[in-house]
Amino acid sequence: MDIIKVTGGNELNGIIPISGAKNAALPLMIASLLTDETLTLSNVPRLRDVAQLTHILSNHGVDYAVNGKRNGQHQLEGQTVNLTAREIVDTTAPYELVSKMRASFWVIGPLVARMREARVSLPGGCAIGTRPVDFFIDGLSALGADIEIEGGYVVVKAPSGLKGARIEFPRVSVGATHTIMMAAALAQGETEIVNAAREPEVVDLAKCLKAMGAKIEGEGTSTIRIQGVKRLHGAHHAVVPDRIETGTYAMAVAMTGGDVLLQGAREDLLDKALETLRQAGTEITQTDAGIKVYRNGNGIQPVDVTTEPFPGFPTDLQAQFMALMTKAGGSSQITETIFENRFMHVQELARLGAKIHVDGRTATIDGVSELRGAPVMATDLRASVSLVIAGLAAEGETTVSRVYHLDRGFERLEDKLTNCGAIIERISA
């Protein structure tokens, strides 16, 4: 099993190309089930989750083709993929596939919308907390589907097709918003989603669906309206830049010091996180080429944050920001409101010398003057990269095991950091 070895102490200087967003690419790929024509997606990241979803979609009959690298294309640039669901050959998403990636449950919406039936395994638990599918089920039921739970599967039938309805989520759910928006695109009449997720990835999906012929308005607000159409057609869509990757590398620069251009990044996708970094003493500037991140020898200032749905501070940057605060000149607090079990990285950061106390959903971080390298273990995707960030600023060598978590969400992380002066390598154990 691979490990990543980091030798800390170097500033980061140079250019890091920002990949397409994994959290946008996955629902966009699933949207290919809504049409029998080809959906072409560019700027798709080369990630384990993307490869896994490709396998899941092929089980339903989606043909998948990757365009070859064009002359002059950089190895770190995204790929272009063509997805064609000319014929849905199977409306069942089996447990052995769904259990490997929660987002694959979202196929339930397009399948029942197009085929009027679906049988999708319940996804089970998650290392960072339970994420129930009640909102998905209630939403599809409101659209007129008959739903039963049989042997660990959600069985959905809508023999007369889905019908538009008003759906109000008890709390914001990105996955449920994705799923109901896709299902409603082919429903009869108008659907109104109240308390919808406002994340950029939801906006990106809406933009793609509209390019396919869907009638959607209100994306990016808490109320989305979809006027159903009889069919959708193929389209070409570029995946939005990854705001979590952007924030992660920005925090790495804040941690080590240096001057890096995050090429292709957009500040409007993560205003709150970048403003928090500014408060911590980092200079951030939007340019035509991306976002410039700079921190000189000045110390890191402590900042309190609370994770919230967009446009608030993202839960997916909480672990990375905690790593940064371990070197702040004072105490800071991080309150996690999205997931109930997302502080598993605390004990691993403590192995590097961090001083962190957890009380319920709040972690108090007392900054230390130095971290020291040590063997640590990744517990989930975002926690794993927080350990890399800490290792970049720690004295000596840090080894991170279970890095398969990283491969789910960060494309060629070692190459991107090495190109900016970091001493980091992947070792096959």
Binding residues for UDP-N-acetyl-alpha-D-glucosamine: 102, 316, 338
What token pair was written down for 284?
Answer: 């951030």
Answer for the pair 365, 355: CB distance below 8 angstroms, yes or no: yes
**Catalytic residue of the set 51, 66, 126, 194:** 126
Torsion angle of C-alpha atoms 334, 340, 345, 347, degrees rounded to 10: 90
What token pair was written down for 357?
Answer: 């106390």
- Give 155-158's long-range contacts (Cβ < 8 A, gap of 24+): 155/118, 155/119, 156/108, 156/111, 156/112, 156/117, 156/118, 156/119, 156/120, 157/112, 157/116, 157/117, 158/112, 158/116, 158/117
Binding residues for phosphoenolpyruvate: 22-23
The sheet with strand 397-401 has its strands ordered as 375-377, 397-401, 2-7, 423-428
**Residues in a beta bridge with 187:** none
Backbone angles phi and psi of 237, in degrees to 5: -145, 135
SS3 of residue 289 by DSSP: coil
d(CA 418, CA 421): 5
What token pair was written down for 58?
Answer: 């092929």
SS3 of residue 99 by DSSP: coil
Annotation says 126 is catalytic: yes
What token pair was written down for 17?
Answer: 């190309």
Closest CA to 280 of 293, 264, 267, 290: 293
With a CB cutoff of 8 Å and minimum separation 6, the contacts of 86 are 36, 37, 61, 63
Show which residues are catalytic.
126
